Amino acid sequence: MNAITQPRPRPLRVAIAGLGAVGLRVAEALDAGIPGCELVAVAARDRPAAARRLQGLRYPVPVLEIGDLEPQADLVVECAPAALLPRIATPVLQHGKKLMVLSAGALLSAPQLVELARQHHGQIIVPTGALLGLDAVAAAAEGQIHAVRMVTRKPVKGLLGAPYLAEHGIDIAAITAPLRIFEGTAREAAIGFSANLNVAVALSLAGIGPDRTRLEIWADPALTLNTHSITVEADSARFSMTIENVPSDNPKTGRITALSVIAALRKLSAPLRVGT
């Protein structure tokens, strides 16, 4: 007797907005093959340079303007400077498609994007990125979480250029000992450290929100790894966890960030899915 075979579903067409440290690594992984996904296009600021960076791919894809990505794709991975998030996200969500967001901090100043996703049955996916344990935080949030704290320690060059430092006259270029440069909420960090602390916002969105998630940031001249330590107190569990990230080509961004995106893409259509 013949088994009834179902047609193989069409792969998800994936586009990448921003071809920097995260975007290029994700493009290479898609080109090498992530089951259920197909790289169809990228957007970059310097399109000829991006085309050169993509020359090594087995299946080169077009380099487009941000505004031209949506019609080509079912899912767009946003891995561009935070200020571009609304431009990248709006057409994707208006068409009920999926958007994977790395610039998670920028979601706080664009809450309309979540509403847009709701209205048009699209979805914003924030991967765990450079962090860990968002599965446990999200599970604990189904019960009652009393407190979430994070302490981030980064080498000086992982923090240089953050707007908070200039606004508060903090000069870390020549420090010789660890210096606490910030204590506040995830929402405040998203504004002052928009290219350095997306992880704090991702943590807050998984847990108790950006106004109750507390954060300290230290600049440490002796450090080589971007280090995030989290403690959670909830009615279901108490846990603490630390990740020490090897910086990527971009010293602000841990290498594991792109790998987290790749794992999240793989999970979208995997026959066995592990973790919340």
Ligand X SMILES: NC(=O)C1=CN([C@@H]2O[C@H](COP(=O)(O)OP(=O)(O)OC[C@H]3O[C@@H](n4cnc5c(N)ncnc54)[C@H](O)[C@@H]3O)[C@@H](O)[C@H]2O)C=CC1
What amino acid positions are annotated as catalytic residues? 228
Nearer to ligand X, 101 or 145 (CB): 101
Among 128, 204, 213, 245, binds ligand OAA (CB under 6 A): 245
CB of 196 to ligand OAA, least distance (A): 5
Among 14, 75, 130, 215, binds ligand X (CB under 6 A): 130
Piece of the chain touching ligand OAA by CB under 6 A; list 181-189, 229-237, 246-254, 268-276:
246-254
> Among candidates 90, 92, 126, 83, which has minimal Cα distance to 13?
92
Contact assessment for residue 148 and residue 208, using Cβ atoms and an 8 Å cutoff:
yes
Q: Does 92 bind ligand X (CB under 6 A)?
A: no
100 binds, among ligand X, ligand OAA, none (CB under 5 to 8 A by kind): none
**Adjacent-strand bridge partners of 99:** 76, 124
Q: Does 23 bind ligand X (CB under 6 A)?
A: yes
130 is in an annotated binding site: yes
User: What is the per-residue binding string for ligand X in 160-189, x denoting contact by CB under 6 A?
Assistant: ------------------------------
Piece of the chain touching ligand X by CB under 6 A; list 73-81, 142-150, 168-176, 217-225:
73-81
Q: Does 207 bind ligand X (CB under 6 A)?
A: no
Tokens 């259920």 locate to 36
45 binds, among ligand X, ligand OAA, none (CB under 5 to 8 A by kind): ligand X
Among 81, 143, 161, 178, binds ligand X (CB under 6 A): 81
CB of 177 to ligand X, least distance (A): 26
Nearer to ligand OAA, 54 or 205 (CB): 205
> Among candidates 266, 265, 248, which has minimal Cα distance to 257?
248
Q: Does 263 bind ligand X (CB under 6 A)?
A: no
Task: Spell out the SS3 assignment of 172-189.
Answer: CCCCCCCEEEEEEEHHHH
2 is in an annotated binding site: no
Among 132, 192, 198, 215, binds ligand OAA (CB under 6 A): 198
> Which residue ranges make up the annotated binding site for NAD(+)?
130, 198
Annotated binding site: 130, 198
Residues contributing to the site for ligand X (CB under 6 A): 17-23, 43-45, 66, 79-82, 84, 102-104, 129-131, 195, 198-199, 202, 250, 253, 257
